[in-house]
Structure 1
Amino acid sequence: MNLTDHPDNPVPPDAKVGFVTTQDGRKLRYAHWPALGSVRKGTVTVLQGRAEFIEKYFEVISDLRSRGFAVITFDWRGQGGSDRGTRNPKKGHVFSFAAYREDLRTVLKKVSLAEYPGPHFALAHSTGGAILLSDSARLRTMLDRVVVIAPLFALPAGEFERKVTRVFGTIRRVLTLGRYQVPYSKRRSGRPSKIIEALAFPLARFLGLIGLGRSFVPGGSGEVFVPFEENRQTSDPVRFKRFGEVLKANPDLGIGAPTIGWVRAASKCMARFRQRDFGPSMKLPCLVVAAGADRIVSTPAIEEFCSRVKATGYLEITGAAHEILMERDEYRDQLFAAFDTFIPGKDS
């Protein structure tokens, strides 16, 4: 599969595209680019969030190359141009985040470390950040430093809690997977939801055990398009429209809602970050950047994690929505200023 080129989102020059196979036989689409300029600072592997794809990161790739970094990125299994794990290719599905960790180690070993010189860094967003940090003990020998943006440590409370409570009041509809919309909170507090942890995640585990793991979450569908006014990812209408145009040009890149199995796997990964013994095991130097107006993940949970893990630094960008890399320039510029400070390179 080639990269999808669009007039509003052209493929950065000098791209090389290929597929790499994991130990369990999944084919992952990857792409890489050499650094620009005479000063080469190393290599950055970019890790996407859930439901994303290589083409969405073309602008980020150009930003990194202009700084003197070679760039590698890839599509996680089940999304973008990589192998899908369900008959319905629009389902975002995985039974365990261990599969994603296998994806990451495969790309690092077979592409990043094999094709490009060090030092080696990673720039990870949301679910990609959770995958990276959950495997930090093993990745310490592969990566020198990492920047993680709005990692999936916990989901925010608020209206979500009230809706989940209603779901449990109509348990029959949930078990039969009737349509029941469960939106994320629109409140700023962003505190981790105790209701979600106590009720929704155990329900996801139960539904998985009775054979519904590959079903969409209640209320979920394969729809990939959301109006700008309803999106929770970015406040930048231009960048939002750009990604929509790419999906219209190649709908096969997109996926819809996650499956119950995916939620079950995510809940187990998030629970690991709350365990007190996780901090001492974290040795990989890491800068965590949180979005002050995040409505997808819990910013307070990210701050709490960083307060007890010595290997991490913490920065919150006030006013930014979840996808800071896809936000307005006033937010992106702050992120890259922090990146430039934390990711030092060495002259070749």
Structure 2
Amino acid sequence: MASFPFDRRAIPAGASITHWTTRDSWALRCFSWPVTGAPRGSILFQGGRGDVIEKYLETFAHWHSRGWTVTSFDWRGQGGSGRLTDAGNCGHIADFAQYIEDFEAFARDWMARTPGPHVIMGHSMGGHLVLRGLVEGVVRPDAAVLVAPMLGLKGPFGAALGERLARLLGGVGNSARPAWKSNERPYTTDTRESLLTHDPDRYQDELWWQQTNPGNVTGPPSWKWVIEAFRSTRELRAHPALRTMDVPVLALVAEHDGLVDARAALALLAKLPDARIVRFGKESAHEILREVDKVRNRALGEIDLFLEARVRGA
């Protein structure tokens, strides 16, 4: 949507990659891009499972060009924020509460050191964790944006049976081992590319970054991650505070998403007292902000309008 040339395969001038240390001395890989002059406000954007900061540089550039400072970090155990298991590049977590602890500490520090108003955004797993953090009251930004949020896992067996099977299969042996060998879903014939985006060039950008920084590549999740993802999404869907969480929310949902359960997301989002839901059809795969220009521009336009209408001082 930006009208200026942008190199999606380079860290932009003025931005920096650093590390932020958690309470237990874990180093999270961070991205910071301040603006020159008076900022419109600050955005904290959190990616999904296996994501790295670099996948969203083009989107960061759009918000930065509109006057927003932009910050992001790779979740613990993935990207450039280290690993929690010896099983190669497996994405592991013992409990999603650990993600929330990191998110709470980082977001509070971020809000204290960056200019308001403050907006927190999350894609996929990041969307789930952002909403869970809001519902649990660990942080209160001026607004939130959820992009293809992981509010239910996509699977052939349904949530209840899927969770039981995950606990059965993952409970045998080391639950930190990879749940499958490759791809985003073990039971599908769809390619990883088709599950993520219809834009081949943007998909190739991700592969380029993987080849450039192979140490940041996160492979399949561990069985424990799968088990905890089922549990965390189930508990969030039933959380009584959903109906009283009044932070303004914009949610972008891809109805034909092959990775997360769009129907579960729509049902949960309907419980929020102040949420605008924008639906995308077959034109969009999971990564709405990395889709073909027509889809991506619509998504960015919806976010811009939401921020202008709902964020005071923006």
Write out aligned runs for 1:33-112 (5 A): 33-35=33-35, 40-110=39-109, 112=110
Change (3 A) 1:228 1:137: closer
Match of 2:247 among 284, 291, 294: 284
- How far apart, in 2, do the equivalents of 1:89 and 1:19 lie? 22
Aligned twin of 1:131? 129
Residue 140 of structure 1 and its aligned partner are, at CA, apart by 7.0
- How far apart, in 2, do the equivalents of 1:70 and 1:108 lie? 14
Q: Is the 8 A contact 1:108 1:142 kept in 2?
A: no
Once the two structures are superposed, residues 155-189 of structure 1 have per-residue CA deviations (whole angstroms, 9 ceiling, x without a partner) of 23xxx42xxxxxxxxxxxxxxxxxxxxxxxxxxxx
Q: Is the 8 A contact 2:153 2:230 kept in 1?
A: no
SS at match of 1:212: coil
- How far apart, in 2, do the equivalents of 1:8 and 1:341 lie? 24
Residue 29 of structure 1 and its aligned partner are, at CA, apart by 0.8
Letter in 1 for 2:78: Q
- How far apart, in 2, do the equivalents of 1:235 and 1:271 lie? 30
Residue 139 of structure 1 and its aligned partner are, at CA, apart by 4.7
Change (3 A) 1:339 1:139: farther
- How far apart, in 1, do the equivalents of 2:251 and 2:124 lie? 11
The reply on whether 1:323 has 2:287 as its aligned counterpart is: yes
Aligned twin of 1:314? 277
SS at match of 2:39: coil
Change (3 A) 1:69 1:13: same
Q: Give unmatched runs, 5+ long, in structure 1.
A: 1-5, 162-194
User: What is the count of residue pairs matched by the alignment?
Assistant: 302
Aligned twin of 2:162? 200
- How far apart, in 2, do the equivalents of 1:325 and 1:102 lie? 27
Change (3 A) 1:138 1:292: closer
Residue 22 of structure 1 and its aligned partner are, at CA, apart by 1.6
Structure with max Cα Rg: 1
The reply on whether 1:120 has 2:118 as its aligned counterpart is: yes
Match of 2:146 among 131, 145, 148: 148
- How far apart, in 2, do the equivalents of 1:285 and 1:276 lie? 18
Q: Is the 8 A contact 2:133 2:139 kept in 1?
A: no
- How far apart, in 2, do the equivalents of 1:326 and 1:230 lie? 11
Q: TM-score, normalised by structure 1?
A: 0.80
Match of 1:333 among 292, 297, 300: 297
Write out aligned runs for 1:9-28 (5 A): 9-28=9-28
Residue 327 of structure 1 and its aligned partner are, at CA, apart by 0.4
Q: Is the 8 A contact 2:34 2:70 kept in 1?
A: yes
Residue 277 of structure 1 and its aligned partner are, at CA, apart by 2.0
Change (3 A) 1:236 1:97: same
- How far apart, in 2, do the equivalents of 1:216 and 1:310 lie? 38
- How far apart, in 1, do the equivalents of 2:175 and 2:267 lie? 31
- How far apart, in 2, do the equivalents of 1:232 and 1:99 lie? 28
Q: TM-score, normalised by structure 2?
A: 0.88
The reply on whether 1:247 has 2:245 as its aligned counterpart is: no
SS at match of 1:107: helix
Residue 305 of structure 1 and its aligned partner are, at CA, apart by 1.4
Of the structure 1 ranges 81-90 and 318-327, higher mean CA displacement relative to structure 2 is found in 81-90
Residue 27 of structure 1 and its aligned partner are, at CA, apart by 1.1
- How far apart, in 1, do the equivalents of 2:219 and 2:83 lie? 13
Residue 334 of structure 1 and its aligned partner are, at CA, apart by 1.0
- How far apart, in 2, do the equivalents of 1:79 and 1:276 lie? 27
Residue 210 of structure 1 and its aligned partner are, at CA, apart by 4.7
Percent identity of equivalent pairs: 31
Once the two structures are superposed, residues 276-323 of structure 1 have per-residue CA deviations (whole angstroms, 9 ceiling, x without a partner) of 624224222111110133111111211111222212221102221110
Change (3 A) 1:67 1:140: farther
Q: Is the 8 A contact 1:222 1:255 kept in 2?
A: no
Residue 209 of structure 1 and its aligned partner are, at CA, apart by 4.5
Once the two structures are superposed, residues 252-295 of structure 1 have per-residue CA deviations (whole angstroms, 9 ceiling, x without a partner) of 11111111000011011110232162422422211111013311
